[in-house]
């Protein structure tokens, strides 16, 4: 069975060395699209610029005509996706990931018009993709692109996209013993050379990330993007006031609420010490002096070192923080305000952990039933 193309994506081409080990060509971000390999001209520390180059490549590759009020049978999916990439996708928080998802959509629907999108074709895409959650996310992008195309007046009708069922929400949280094991595993993890451990620590930045996640319950992306001073396009930690501004100034409010939070004294002391010891100079999470954009790979190494299962992911820290607060009996409205969740979300996912959960019902069942009616009936007889 032929392998399916991964679509247009970014790849960091490693640096090239000569026979003496000297670097003759620096590492550079390149665009991979099937057999095509095109350099962006941006080095390892210029990932944001490379992401914009990828979005531009997608838009240019599928340069689309903008003709008003066309029939769905005349609207090609590549044209619809290209217009969405040009108008909207490059404004996303992670445009390179959006571009990669759109590339996979084009690999499957590249010869299709909007009239050919229906339940059968969407189900076929899910089967071909294999991973239902990933397929759903990519079809959501296709749905957004089609809606944008229709709202721009370029199509006479809105084509529905049939999504697969949403998977079960992750409810995995860590016990305090598991959290301590994960933290120490990340702090003690050392690089191995010829199957022997060295003295070089490789995951202490993951330990700092774990502390931020457990103390504040902040999403991984907001922690990794947080700066230590007001920065355009990034949230930041005010070390003087002890406040974590999780959402960047001027960024639009989304359903993933990111309210500012006061930092617990212990965590604030950690942050000030990291800054003082130059472990975090410009960003909260740094590795070799550079900000960490994604923590997944390093977190996976720490998880394996702690002998925890694959169900423990960076987002598990957020579930853990909220669950611990519920178990401590913190009022629901304070939990919702601190972590930026709705009361409905708290009831559905975390409510059963709260100390007051069904307390009145349990107490009522535990009380002895009144016997007044029995005494009255006996006196009457």
- pLDDT above 90 covers a percentage of the chain that reads 43
pLDDT of res. 2: 44
pLDDT for 115 equals: 93
100 and 202 share one domain: no
On the question of pLDDT at 72 being above 70, the answer is yes
Query: Given the structure tokens 């611990």, which residue do they identify?
Result: 324
Do 199 and 318 fall into the same domain? Answer: yes
C-beta separation of 45 from 290 below 8 A: yes
pLDDT of residue 10: 84
Asked if 142 and 197 sit in the same domain, the reply is: no
Q: Which domain, by its residues, includes 106? A: 9-151
Mean pLDDT of the chain: 85
Q: Are residues 199 and 249 in the same domain?
A: yes
Residue 3 has pLDDT above 70, yes or no: no
* Same domain for 183 and 143: no
Higher pLDDT, residue 99 or 22: 99
- Beta bridge partners, 32, equal 9, 37
Domain end marker among 296, 314, 329: 329
Residues 266 and 232 in one domain: yes
Q: Which range, of 155-164, 176-185, 266-275, 345-354, averages the lowest pLDDT? A: 345-354
Q: Are residues 128 and 186 in the same domain?
A: no
Q: How much is the average pLDDT of 14-29?
A: 79
* Residues 306, 320 contacting (CB under 8 angstroms): no
Mean pLDDT of 18-34: 79
Of residues 32 and 115, the one with the higher pLDDT is: 115
Q: Are residues 119 and 25 in the same domain?
A: yes
Which of 151, 184, 212 delimits the end of a domain? 151
Residue 171's pLDDT is 76
Judge if 188 and 283 occupy the same domain: yes
Distance CA 322, CA 318 (A): 6
98 plus 65 within the same structural domain? yes
pLDDT of 184 reads 95
In this model, does residue 127 exceed pLDDT 50? yes
Angstrom distance (rounded) from CA 188 to CA 310: 20
Q: What distance in Å separates the CA atoms of residue 296 and residue 143, rounded to the nearest whole number?
A: 28
213 and 309 in one domain? yes
Does any domain span residue 339? no
- Residue 157 within a domain: no
The answer to whether position 43 is within a domain reads yes
Cα-Cα end-to-end distance for the chain: 86
CATH of the domain at 275: 1.10.443.10
In a domain, 372, yes or no: no
Domain membership flag for residue 142:
yes
Give the total number of structural domains in the chain. Answer: 2
- Region 233-241: mean pLDDT is 90
Q: Report whether pLDDT(312) > 60.
A: yes
% of the chain residues with pLDDT over 70: 89
Q: What is the pLDDT of residues 346-381, one digit of tens each?
A: 888 888 888 777 777 777 766 666 655 555 555 555
Lowest mean pLDDT, pick from 37-41, 59-63, 105-109: 59-63
- Asked if the structure places residue 21 within a domain, the reply is yes
Is 321 a domain residue? yes
164-189: pLDDT as tens digits: 988 776 678 999 999 999 999 999 99
Residue 193 lies in a domain: yes
Q: Residue 17: pLDDT band by 50, 70, 90 thresholds? A: confident
Question: Taking residues 1-22, what's their average pLDDT?
Answer: 70
Reported as a pLDDT band with limits 50, 70 and 90, residue 1 is: very low
Q: What's residue 345's pLDDT?
A: 86
Residues 69 and 207 in one domain: no
């Amino acid at each position: 069975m032929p392998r399916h193309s991964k679509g247009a994506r970014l790849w960091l081409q490693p640096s090239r060395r000569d026979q003496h080990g000297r670097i003759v060509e620096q590492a550079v971000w390149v665009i991979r699209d099937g057999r095509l390999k095109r350099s962006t001209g941006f080095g390892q520390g210029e990932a944001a610029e490379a992401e914009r180059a990828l979005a531009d490549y997608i838009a240019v590759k599928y340069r689309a005509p903008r003709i008003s009020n066309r029939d769905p049978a005349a609207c090609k999916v590549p044209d619809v996706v290209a217009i969405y990439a040009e108008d909207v996708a490059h404004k996303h928080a992670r445009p390179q990931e959006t571009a990669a998802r759109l590339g996979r959509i084009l690999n499957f629907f590249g010869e299709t018009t909007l009239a050919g999108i229906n339940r059968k074709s969407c189900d076929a895409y899910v089967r071909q993709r294999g991973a239902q959650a990933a397929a759903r996310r990519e079809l959501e992008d296709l749905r957004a692109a089609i809606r944008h195309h229709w709202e721009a007046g370029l199509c006479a009708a809105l084509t529905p996209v049939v999504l697969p069922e949403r998977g079960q929400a992750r409810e995995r949280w860590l016990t305090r013993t598991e959290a301590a094991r994960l933290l120490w595993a990340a702090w003690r993890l050392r690089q191995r050379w010829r199957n022997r451990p060295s003295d070089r620590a490789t995951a202490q930045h993951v330990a700092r990330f774990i502390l931020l996640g457990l103390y504040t319950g902040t999403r991984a992306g907001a922690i990794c993007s947080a700066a230590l001073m007001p920065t355009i396009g990034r949230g930041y930690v005010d070390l003087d006031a002890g406040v974590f501004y999780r959402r960047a100034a001027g960024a639009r409010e989304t359903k993933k609420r990111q309210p500012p939070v006061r930092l617990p004294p212990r965590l604030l002391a950690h942050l000030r010490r990291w800054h003082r010891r130059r472990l975090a100079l410009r960003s909260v999470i740094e590795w070799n002096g550079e900000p960490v954009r994604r923590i997944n790979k390093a977190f996976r190494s720490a998880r394996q070192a702690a002998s925890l299962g694959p169900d423990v992911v960076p987002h598990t820290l957020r579930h853990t923080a909220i669950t611990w607060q519920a178990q401590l009996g913190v009022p629901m409205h304070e939990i919702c305000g601190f972590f930026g969740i709705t009361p409905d979300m708290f009831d559905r996912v975390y409510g059963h952990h709260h100390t007051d959960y069904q307390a009145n019902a349990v107490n009522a069942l535990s009380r002895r039933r009144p016997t007044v009616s029995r005494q009255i009936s006996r006196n009457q007889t």
